[in-house]
Structure 1
Amino acid sequence: MNKPLIGIPGNVLRGLKETEGLPITYTPQGFIDGIQMANGVPFVFPISPPEDASYYVDQIDGLLLAGGQDITPFLSGEEPHLKLEATEPARDAFELALIKETIAQHKPIFAVCRGMQLLNVAYGGTLYQDLSDYKELTVQHIQKTHYTFGSHTITLDTESQLGRILGATYSVNSYHHQAVKELAEPFKAVAWSKDNLIEAFESTDAEKGIVAVQWHPELMVAVDSKMQRLFTEFVKRASISY
């Protein structure tokens, strides 16, 4: 029996003493674990020229967009905020090309944190470059609690794919200082924090198989079976595409 091949665009780690400063392509282990536990095969590939995106997407059955650096503000026609952190323009450009190609090939996407934000920008949405610009901010979105534990609650649309898994409310972890501001038209918000930030969205067209979350389920899969179900449902969607 074939297993769905899940593409995970890698990030680049630089300046690590143990590698004498040599750049390392990587993805967090939680994504590998979540996909393997869902009976999928993870395929991590490096930041590459955008014109190579079709070659990668041809090989995979679903695309998983991971977290990482801030999104390049020029993609939204904005100048850098004073609190903007490190960006990786080459990664942005490559992953934008991957998104476009994955949609063109009718394959599902699961986006996490930065991945959710980039997906929104790809379709014309905007971001808070820093949550200091969000005047209604009352929730700790960069938690101090250990990453395997939920640090704030979210409210979900119970008719959504995520709502059917997590229910009307759930506790999630949180590590972000950027967030969705204006949601792009092809998406519908399906989860919100108590201070009303968008915590998840899905495609308005369910057949596109797009689910995006602001929290980090890959850090919770070892202790939370419902977070593992997010990966399991994604791999199921990917299995339909091959």
Structure 2
Amino acid sequence: MQPIIAITGSITPIQNDPNYAAFDATYTPHFFVEAVIEAGGIPIILPINNNYPVEAILNKVDGLLLTGGHDVDPRFYQEEPHVKIGSLNLDRDHHELKLIKHFMQAGKPMLGVCRGMQLINILQGGSLYQDLSLYPDWAIQHVQKSELDRVTHRVKIDPNSRLGQWMGTGDYVNSLHHQAIKDLGQDLKAIAWSGDQLIEAIESTNPAVDLLAVQWHPELTHQNQESSRAIFKDLVERASNKK
């Protein structure tokens, strides 16, 4: 049986008009859905909700895909908000941090993308650069302006990592983030770096925790790049093996 992959959802207003508030939508970018299906998984979208028990989700799904989106509230890593911080969603932060914690404890597979990687790092006691302007060695364009389905900058991959199984040590990725990992959290290992030495991917050093997280957006390049497809195939395979 195909594994079921839970994809974290967000919420967006249908129109900027309070009269349409009843039609606000739970959504996830469709490329995540396509990538999971093409990898052999069955996707379901988890709405932002801090009332339903996470245990009920754990019993129904085989893996978790943490999507990109909002900046994470800096209170979670004991900082005041910088003037360049983007939009926040505290309910989403609480919801997804709870999901990560329970999936870690259950040993169920996770894939974090962009914000997803940053949330994993924060849960483990790490911190973020709230804006890349705060990173003293910033030298590469990490906020891609166009053609997000195309790769733009090189990443150095640890050949002994999970990513190293299918990505070359000098592979290219796309890039769409103005925040990045500053202090790496406990029991996490950096396995990929950009040319200006920002952390681009992490995995856990705890053998009981099954996770991979990347800073770039493989869901946008999976139709054009084999290594991007392999990231989702890996999640589905890990989830299938844990069933």
Q: Taking structure 2 as the reference length, what is the TM-score of the superposition?
A: 0.95
Seq. identity, %: 41
> How much has 1:52 moved relative to structure 2?
2.1
Tell me which residue corresponds to 1:10: 9
Any residues of structure 2 matched to 1:1-242 within 5 Å, and which?
2-16=1-15, 20=20, 22-49=23-50, 52-242=53-243
> How much has 1:150 moved relative to structure 2?
0.7
Question: Cα distance 1:79–1:15, how it changes in 2: closer, same or farther (>3 A)?
Answer: farther
C-alpha separation in 1, matches of 2:241 and 2:164: 22
For residues 105-129 of structure 1, what are the alpha-carbon distances to aligned partners after superposition, in whole Å with 9 as ceiling and x for unaligned? 1101100000000110011000001
C-alpha separation in 1, matches of 2:45 and 2:53: 15
The runs of 5 or more residues in structure 1 that have no matched partner are none
For residues 120-177 of structure 1, what are the alpha-carbon distances to aligned partners after superposition, in whole Å with 9 as ceiling and x for unaligned? 0011000001111001000000012300111111101011110111111111100000
> How much has 1:10 moved relative to structure 2?
0.5
CA contact (8 A) 1:51 1:97 kept: no
Question: Cα distance 1:20–1:50, how it changes in 2: closer, same or farther (>3 A)?
Answer: closer
C-alpha separation in 1, matches of 2:15 and 2:164: 40
Letter in 2 for 1:45: L
Structure 2 residue matching 1:166: 3-state secondary structure: coil
CA contact (8 A) 2:7 2:28 kept: yes
CA contact (8 A) 2:14 2:25 kept: no
CA contact (8 A) 1:128 1:180 kept: yes
> How much has 1:16 moved relative to structure 2?
3.2
Structure 2 residue matching 1:59: 3-state secondary structure: coil
CA contact (8 A) 1:50 1:94 kept: no
C-alpha separation in 1, matches of 2:145 and 2:8: 28
Structure 2 residue matching 1:146: 3-state secondary structure: coil
- Residues 192-201 or 54-63, more deviating: 54-63
CA contact (8 A) 1:188 1:204 kept: yes
> How much has 1:38 moved relative to structure 2?
1.0
C-alpha separation in 1, matches of 2:6 and 2:186: 25
- Residues 168-177 or 14-23, more deviating: 14-23
CA contact (8 A) 2:105 2:209 kept: no
> How much has 1:20 moved relative to structure 2?
4.0
Letter in 1 for 2:68: G
Aligned CA RMSD, in angstroms, stands at 1.6
The runs of 5 or more residues in structure 2 that have no matched partner are none
- Aligned residue-pair number: 241
Letter in 2 for 1:234: L
Letter in 2 for 1:106: G
CA contact (8 A) 2:137 2:196 kept: yes
